Amino acid sequence: MSKTSIEGADALFQIAEPTAPQASQRAPGRGIGIDLGTTHSLVAIAPHGAAPRVLRDAEGRGLLPSIVSYIDERPQVGDPAAARQHERPDRVISSVKRFMGRGLAEVQFPHPYQLGDATGVLRVAVGDGREVSPVEVSAEILRVLKLRAEAELGGPVDGAVITVPAYFDDAQRQATRDAGRIAGLKVYRLLAEPTAAALAYGLDRNERGLFAIYDLGGGTFDISVLHLHSGVFQVLATGGDSALGGDDFDRALAAVLLARAAVSTPTPAQHDAARLAARALKERLSSVEEDRVSVPTIGLHDVSITRREFEAVIEPLAQRTIRACRQALKEAGVAVAELSGVVLVGGSTRVPRIRQMVEQAFGRAPLSDIDPDEVVAHGAAIQADILSGSERPGVTLLDVVPLSLGLETMGGIVEKIIPRNATIPISARQVFTNYSEQQTGMVIHVLQGERELARDNRSLARFELRGIPRLPPSMARVEVTFQLDADALLTVTARELMTGVKQSVEVKPTHGLSVEEVDRLVLESFDHAGDDYSARSVAEARVELGRVILAVRGPLAEVGHIEALLPPDDRMAIEAALREADDAMADSDSDADALSRARVRLEHTSEPFAARRMQRALSAGMAGKSLAEIEAALAADDLDVRRGGHGPALVPPAADGA
């Protein structure tokens, strides 16, 4: 059970840089950076050394809600999907990032979905006997971002850098890479989100020193301590929580709102209304100075909350992020006073209480020069431009291993081969020995985690090395090599030194898709790319037209025949536009252009009516009302529907015995 002593203990654990891979042909300037977020995703470019910029849709929106609807036969992504969440919450998947690379037993957070893993892969039931994996859902989001980039570049992208939380383990990283492949992307590499933020700030500001990257997004929290010097970004330590973010703030506040409304068992509609109200309250308190704000809701009474009440609700969650920060600084061996600055990343850092707590914890005001929603995408775009072959000033990214990697040895003990926070890319090897004379094989059980016993860590892979000679105990010599590439994806090789018998495995996630499934989905995406794009365009146009029809028809019935608001000629014109819109919706052959034309005509025809109603709301609500109350009334009357924006002895095989 003791470490073998051949060539001295130091020779048994050697760390070296792996051989650099052969460079493949790239297309300079056609690489894209993607921030695949829990609540929103973005794509950015920085071609040929230009400053990075986030790409926007036709409506000028850079943030794409990370939401996919499976209500219809073909998926809808982003705002059209978000608009339908209230219809069937179980068929509209949001925050899918939390499910990536996870098994059923690992999903411990609340959600409205029916999950299963009968095939060994986590899947979500979306009705009509259909099931989808989190990888497939993420691929739908990536496809939309890819199309946005291709429209901007005027042709196909060459490849993408996709960001992941620093705390993502091997299974989650592999699932992200698989999603990119299914979406038709060549994934240059996966980049840790805090490292991407440091890259954006380091190049734009030319900073040097020690920095903390505080990244609080919709669903994950990461803290990283980095050393920046002369173009080298080295991550000294990482920490965080892969199941903590702004969504949890919303859920905690929604629970309070439901309790106030005396709703002990909320219906799906009430749950959705409370969640949307909670998010709206949070966003308003993060952007206005009032101590109390209110928002209209659907299915509940209008609600209001004070800043003090909101901060009390989120305080326990926020304190968890500060504890993680202190632990990361301790692991990096860095005192707060040594830091040159603290960088804020993620939309949830807009909450004033979060900024206040970060400033108190680090003793300095945090940096937020770059939009915290966009800074990660900026860094990814810079790295993608470098990897596409563009000439840029030399930049080296030294990422770290989020959790230790090792093997199970006799007694169920873990021998760590690559320790947590080791810099990657990296290769490490260690010599192991046999346990008994009868042993002609060894079980290579690869584990990830910080616990001492194998049963308390995550199993990544298991294979057997056969054909080793029968030798007295502790006389066999088996060299095991762990090699992590720049994406923190692991290859494990075991070689018996006397005979040269060798076995290698590229570690795949326990709960990921099989190679065959990934290949099938990739081929399907290529075969149906044109049809999928057309069908998506029609579905999105249909959703938008339906939204406008509902927004016009309700107020039309409400005002009746009040000529001051709706003269007869105007009513006739609006009703004619509504009939045209209804006909377009009813016609299954309507294409995206026809649906869009009907929507534009209905919007244009109803504009004077909408303006008069808004003026009436303003006049009626002005007297004796605060600015916040007036804004709430306008929001309730506005025809435009607002959507949420968006060597120890190795274990012998069973046949060999102990």
Q: Is residue 636 part of a domain?
A: no
Q: Work out the average pLDDT over 486-507.
A: 78
630 membership: H or E segment, kind and range: helix 627-637
Q: Is residue 50 part of a domain?
A: no
Let me know whether 410 and 502 are in one domain. Answer: yes
Q: Helices 134-153 and 170-182, interaxial angle, to 10°?
A: 50
Residue 47 has pLDDT above 60, yes or no: yes
Please tell me the distance from the alpha carbon of residue 420 to that of residue 646, in angstroms, as a whole number.
35
Q: Is residue 482 part of a domain?
A: yes
Look up residue 445 and give its two tokens. 């059980």
Let me know whether 542 and 509 are in one domain. Answer: no
> Which of 131, 158, 215, 248 is flagged as catalytic?
215
Let me know whether 411 and 502 are in one domain. Answer: yes
Residue 479 has pLDDT above 50, yes or no: yes
Q: Is residue 415 part of a domain?
A: yes
Let me know whether 468 and 539 are in one domain. Answer: no
Structural domain for 605, as ranges: 529-623
Q: Is residue 460 part of a domain?
A: yes
pLDDT of amino acid 194: 81
Look up residue 429 and give its two tokens. 């090897």
Q: Is residue 374 part of a domain?
A: no
Let me know whether 510 and 468 are in one domain. Answer: yes
- Per the annotation, the verdict on 170 as an active-site residue is no
Let me know whether 439 and 503 are in one domain. Answer: yes
pLDDT of amino acid 221: 87
Confidence of residue 320 (pLDDT cuts 50, 70, 90): very high
Distance of CA 41 to the CA centre of its chain: 7
Confidence of residue 544 (pLDDT cuts 50, 70, 90): confident
Let me know whether 503 and 561 are in one domain. Answer: no
pLDDT of amino acid 375: 92
Give me the CATH number covering residue 443. Answer: 2.60.34.10
Higher pLDDT, 145 or 279: 145
DSSP-assigned states of every residue in 331-376: HHT--GGG-SEEEEESGGGGSHHHHHHHHHHHTSPPB--S-TTTHH
pLDDT tens for 198-240 read: 888 774 455 578 889 999 988 778 898 888 766 666 778 888 8
Let me know whether 478 and 577 are in one domain. Answer: no
Average pLDDT over the chain reads 80
> Which of 35, 222, 248, 544 is flagged as catalytic?
35
Q: Helices 568-586 and 529-559, interaxial angle, to 10°?
A: 150
| Count of domains for the chain | 2
pLDDT of amino acid 159: 93
| Strand, coil or helix: 472 | coil
Let me know whether 467 and 498 are in one domain. Answer: yes
Provide the pairing of β-strand 413-418 with 405-409: antiparallel
- Candidate from 562-576, 599-613, 623-637 with smallest mean pLDDT: 623-637
Would you say 410 and 649 are in contact if contact means Cβ atoms under 8 Å apart? yes
> Which of 79, 97, 385, 464 is flagged as catalytic?
97
pLDDT tens for 431-471 read: 888 877 777 888 888 888 777 778 777 788 888 888 888 87
Nearest Cα neighbor of 174 from 554, 461, 450 is 461
Q: Helices 375-388 and 193-205, interaxial angle, to 10°?
A: 80
- Per the annotation, the verdict on 90 as an active-site residue is no
Higher pLDDT, 333 or 398: 333
Q: Is residue 484 part of a domain?
A: yes
Let me know whether 495 and 569 are in one domain. Answer: no
Q: Is residue 109 part of a domain?
A: no
Would you say 389 and 224 are in contact if contact means Cβ atoms under 8 Å apart? no
Let me know whether 500 and 404 are in one domain. Answer: yes
Please tell me the distance from the alpha carbon of residue 578 to that of residue 581, in angstroms, as a whole number.
5
Confidence of residue 69 (pLDDT cuts 50, 70, 90): very high
Would you say 418 and 432 are in contact if contact means Cβ atoms under 8 Å apart? no
Give me the CATH number covering residue 556. Answer: 1.20.1270.10
Let me know whether 411 and 512 are in one domain. Answer: yes
The burial of 558, by beta-carbon neighbours within 10 Å (0-12 exposed, 13-18 middle, 19 or more buried), is given as exposed
> Which of 131, 136, 169, 193 is flagged as catalytic?
193
Q: Work out the average pLDDT over 535-551.
A: 75
